[in-house]
Chains A and B, each alone.
Chain A
Amino acid sequence: GAGVSQTPSNKVTEKGKYVELRCDPISGHTALYWYRQSLGQGPEFLIYFQGTGAADDSGLPNDRFFAVRPEGSVSTLKIQRTERGDSAVYLCASSSGTSGVGETQYFGPGTRLLVL
Chain B
Amino acid sequence: SQQGEEDPQALSIQEGENATMNCSYKTSINNLQWYRQNSGRGLVHLILIRSNEREKHSGRLRVTLDTSKKSSSLLITASRAADTASYFCATVVNYQLIWGAGTKLIIKP
Contact = CB atoms under 8 A, between A and B. Distances in A.
Contact of A102 (B41, B92, B99): B92
Nearest to A105: B97
B95 A55 contact: yes
Interface string B80-103: 000000001010101111111110
B53 to A, nearest CB: 12
Name the interface size band of chain A.
20 to 34
Name the interface size band of chain B.
20 to 34
Nearest to B44: A107
Contact of A104 (B45, B99, B102): B45
A39 interface: yes
Contacts, number: 67
A56 B88 contact: no
A107 B33 CA distance: 13
B48 A40 contact: no
B101 A45 contact: no
Interface of A: 31, 33, 35, 37, 39-45, 48, 55-56, 58-59, 89, 91, 93, 101-102, 104-107, 109-110
B94 A104 contact: no
Contacts of B78: none
Interface string B21-43: 00000000011010100001111
Contact of A56 (B40, B45, B95, B99): B95
B18 interface: no
